Amino acid sequence: MPITHQFIRDAVIKRIQSGEWPLGSQIPAESDLATEYGCSRSTINRALQQLADEGLVVRKRKGGTRVCQAPVRQARFQIPMLREQIEHTGSTYQHRLLTREIKAAPDEICGRLGLRAADQPLYLETVHLADETPFALERRWVNTGTVPDVLNAPLDTISANEWLINTVPFSTGEVVFGAANASPSVAAALDISAGAAVFVVSRTTWLNHQSVTTLKLYYQPGYQLFSEL
């Protein structure tokens, strides 16, 4: 049975953890490891590249491969659709469209979406329910210049999020996590008391350098986002 890149990966991690290759030290060259393990250089290369991806080693041409001194821990989060997130726990999902307006946006939103003051984006306010209980409040602005079809979408049937995912796939974006005290209006929508700490997710997406949408999600108090390191 040939040596797999996974085997090499594990072996390298063990040799680092055992102290054989201390933090910051240089490890043997690919060709040497290939000889030692009796496999081809490609296999070593693939294993070490994966470790570099994960931030455990740093590689430089001619400089060789070094064990990362202070490995930057990375966490990968799944950002699922709220419906899947809720149905996955066995609850029933519903959403209620509270507001649907076409109007000028505040400066902050214009800046984020790259709109001129005269533009008229679509503003949506939606409550997502799990078992008829408010789960999250969504406040969203959609750039109607980029996605004009959104004005004809049946947003009371399908949530704006799902409609956009199916219509504008593979956009790029950014996410920001934070915490905030629930404002009176947020508290009312979530049926909680004002001032309660809510988890906030802000998201903005683009398609080919054109802004698509920006939104904030205010989660029910106690909500937690989980990930492995």
Residue 148 vs 178, nearer CB to its own copies: 178
Residue 41 vs 100, nearer CB to its own copies: 41
Strand partners, 129: 94, 134
d(CA 107, CA 97): 24
Question: What phi, psi does 65 have (nearest 5°)?
Answer: -110, 130
Distance of CA 66 to the CA centre of its chain: 29
Contact with DNA (CB under 7 A): which of 11, 41, 81, 94? 41
Closest by CA position to 229, among listed 56, 13, 22, 49:
56
Contact with its own copies (CB under 8 A): which of 11, 56, 58, 97? 56
Sign of CA dihedral 124, 128, 133, 135: negative
Instruction: Yes or no: say if 156 and 163 are a contact pair by the CB < 8 Å rule.
Output: no
Buried b (16+ CB within 10 A) or exposed e, 142-166: bbbbbbeebeebebeeebbbbbbee
**What mask of x and - would describe binding to its own copies in positions 119 to 148, judged by CB under 8 A?**
------------------------------
Is residue 48 part of the contact set for DNA (CB under 7 A)? yes
Indicate the helix (H) or strand (E) that contains 149: none
Is residue 58 part of the contact set for its own copies (CB under 8 A)? no
Is residue 177 part of the contact set for its own copies (CB under 8 A)? yes
d(CA 100, CA 126): 9
Residue 173 interacts with which of its own copies, DNA, none, CB < 5 to 8 Å by class: its own copies
Helix (H, G, I), strand (E, B) or coil at 60: strand
Span of 34-42, 157-165, 177-185, 198-206 interacting with DNA by CB under 7 A: 34-42
**What mask of x and - would describe binding to its own copies in positions 34 to 53, judged by CB under 8 A?**
--------------------
Minimum distance from residue 59 beta carbon to its own copies (Å): 17
Span of 25-33, 98-106, 121-129, 189-197 interacting with its own copies by CB under 8 A: 189-197
Contact with its own copies (CB under 8 A): which of 96, 180, 184, 191? 180
Residue ranges in contact with DNA by CB under 7 A: 2-7, 29-31, 38-43, 45-46, 48-49, 52, 59-65
